[in-house]
């Protein structure tokens, strides 16, 4: 399967790239830093650039509880208004790339194949269907 080969190639490339900072301590601290950098990049899109705004409030769902999933979805808001500008999008994409790199690096150290995890999680989602609300 092409996707399987691409993923395995990526995991191997990450493994080859991590020569100097191979310790799990370096990798998991970089992994955590990558998470923080994504949050920071999104925050800067709001507070420095302004291309997106956050307007958060409790989601208001009509009482009764007999809404279809699609009806319920129409009452749920992600609280983000606007769209990322090209510059912010590029910065955030780069940070997600860094997170992906260190996610794979951490998985490599503990001998976990993330493609197998992707397949398992996808099967779980398919099995849960429309009734899984989180
Ligand atoms: Zn922006």
Residue 8: which pLDDT band, with cuts at 50, 70 and 90? Answer: confident
State mean pLDDT over 43-55. 97
1, part of any domain? no
pTM of the model: 0.83
Domain range for 49 = 23-128
- pLDDT tens-digit series, residues 89-131: 999 999 999 999 999 999 999 999 988 998 999 999 888 765 5
Compute, in angstroms, the gap from residue 45 CA to the centroid of ligand 1: 5
- pLDDT tens-digit series, residues 16-25: 888 777 899 9
Compute, in angstroms, the gap from residue 86 CA to the centroid of ligand 1: 7
Return mean pLDDT, the chain.
88
Domain count along the chain: 1
In this prediction, what percent of the chain has a pLDDT beyond 70?
93
Cα separation, 49 vs 26, whole angstroms: 32
10, part of any domain? no
Determine which helix (DSSP H) or strand (DSSP E) holds 62, and give its type and residue range. Answer: none
117, part of any domain? yes
Compute, in angstroms, the gap from residue 95 CA to the centroid of ligand 1: 15
CB atoms inside a 10 Å sphere around CB 62: 10
Residue 3: is its pLDDT beyond 80?
A: no
41, part of any domain? yes
29, part of any domain? yes
Compute, in angstroms, the gap from residue 111 CA to the centroid of ligand 1: 38
Question: Do 35 and 102 meet the contact criterion of CB atoms below 8 Å apart?
Answer: no
9, part of any domain? no
């Amino acid at each position: 399967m092409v996707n399987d080969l691409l993923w395995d190639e990526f995991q191997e490339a990450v493994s080859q790239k991590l020569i100097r900072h191979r310790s799990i301590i370096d990798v998991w601290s970089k992994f955590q830093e990558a998470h923080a950098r994504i949050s920071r990049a999104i925050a800067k899109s709001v507070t420095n650039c302004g291309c997106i705004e956050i307007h958060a409030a409790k989601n208001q769902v009509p009482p009764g509880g007999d809404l279809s999933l699609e009806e319920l979805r129409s009452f749920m808001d992600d609280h983000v208004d606007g769209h990322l500008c090209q510059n912010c999008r590029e910065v955030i994409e780069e940070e997600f790339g860094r997170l992906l790199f260190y996610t794979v690096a951490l998985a490599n150290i503990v001998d976990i194949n993330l493609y197998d995890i992707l397949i398992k999680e996808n099967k779980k989602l398919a099995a849960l269907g429309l009734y899984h609300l989180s």
